[in-house]
Amino acid sequence: MLDIRLIRKDAKEVEKKLRNKDPEIDLGPILTIDDRIRAIKTEVEQLKSQRKSVSKEVGEKKRQGIDISSITAEMLTLGDKIAQLDHELAHLEKEFIDKVACLPNLPMDDVFVSPDAKDNVCLRTWGEKPTFSFPFKNHVELNEKLHLFDFKRGAKIAGSGWPTYRGVGARLEWALLNYMLDIQIENGFMMWMVPHLVRPDIMFGSGQLPKFEKQLFKIHDEDYHLYLVPTAEIALNGLHYDEILHEEQLPLKYCAYSPCFRREAGAAGSNERGLIRVHQFNKVEMFAFTTPAQSAQVFEEMVASAEEILQGLGLHYRSMLLTTGDMSFAAMKTIDIEVWLPGQNRYYEVSSVSNCGDFQARRAHIRYKHGQEKPEFVHTLNGSGLATSRLMVALLENNQRADGSIALPLVLHKYMNGMKELKVDEV
């Protein structure tokens, strides 16, 4: 959430930056409500002061035996007016919070201004696109003989977009998760196992609510009002909800595995079959709490950690600095890491690393204290480290052979009990 003091100080400049993310943003209604709230608070303070003076006058006249009926009526009028204004204030403050909570984070100054993802800036690439001397297949076609996934049974259980992994496919998915967690732990991220269901205030704290309510899966009955996590980021951010940390503790670097639940699969195109865009997928998440001075360095560390995983797997990728219009709601700077998928003839994101500044911390009331100074909001950062569904696609499509078998990267051999390849006749 943005600091209202910043908006009040320079509304035109803030609105200009916000429109670099969303051209439709208009701060006018928010400022109008803010002005009315401040005017009501001033009026209520004046009325309460007046009521206090009248109350003293009542006591004085009672002692003197003077009729106080007119003053009592004035007291009642003042009380009614205060109650009326308090009611209006409560309504306006809720409306104000709802509107401010829907404003995205401000992009950093070094982020390229454009509404179009086509203008994202390629920072670097690693490796080369594979070349094939045979007609290559996409992962769905490869699966016809490898039998790593069962999309029909997943659809029978939960509907389309809910894949099942079977046999060696399930083992390979688990191997990827273990490999990625080991890399993150080696790079200084403490592993957590977190709930996959969270409360509404935890969702709000990460920036998911209220704006993305319709994109979330939830449980809402007489006993529970919980949301399934679209990423472990939400739960990791919630670990220190409403806490004051000590500067000596920072940075805190965490990682966690979770399944991720999202409604977004409905927009899948004809080339986005199989594992490309699904309602449930697995992901290892990186998350960090830092001081403002530490966040830029930790951001680079998180990007490097994600890239290290792809280099270990031998997968060609590119790292892209996102434009203002392509960044997420809570981010002020984002680098997406995209792998090449031959079967789709394009790059797909497998990691998105974002610096959110104090945007989430302000919503989740997470601060840190330096000595005896007043607590300040921490900075939060998050990044996929990595998401496995598209990573699985990349492994299969980039490492396929003419006979339909798949060469497994060396780093995965120990996690697959020495298995070095997926053979059609063995899976």
233 burial type by CB count under 10 A (0-12 exposed, 13-18 middle, 19+ buried):
buried
CB 164 within 8 A of CB 157: yes
Cβ atoms within 10 Å, residue 200: 16
Residue among 385, 395, 423, 407 nearest 313 (CA): 395
Q: Which tokens hold the place of 145?
A: 């003989």
The CATH architecture assigned to 117-422 reads 2-Layer Sandwich (3.30)
- Cα gap 424→396, rounded to integer Å: 13
Q: Which position has the token pair 């490492």?
A: 399
Full-model pTM: 0.92
pLDDT tens for each residue of the chain, 427 residues long: 999 999 999 999 999 999 999 999 999 999 999 999 999 999 999 998 988 887 777 677 766 666 667 777 777 888 899 999 999 999 999 999 999 999 999 999 999 999 999 999 999 999 999 999 999 999 999 999 999 999 999 999 999 999 999 999 999 999 999 999 999 999 999 999 999 999 999 999 999 999 999 999 999 889 999 999 999 999 999 999 999 999 999 999 999 999 999 997 445 554 578 999 999 999 999 999 999 999 999 999 999 999 999 999 999 999 999 999 999 999 999 999 999 999 999 999 999 999 999 999 999 999 999 988 999 999 999 999 999 999 999 999 999 999 999 999 999 999 999 999 999 866 5
CATH number of 4-101: 1.10.287.40
Domain ranges of the chain: 4-101, 117-422
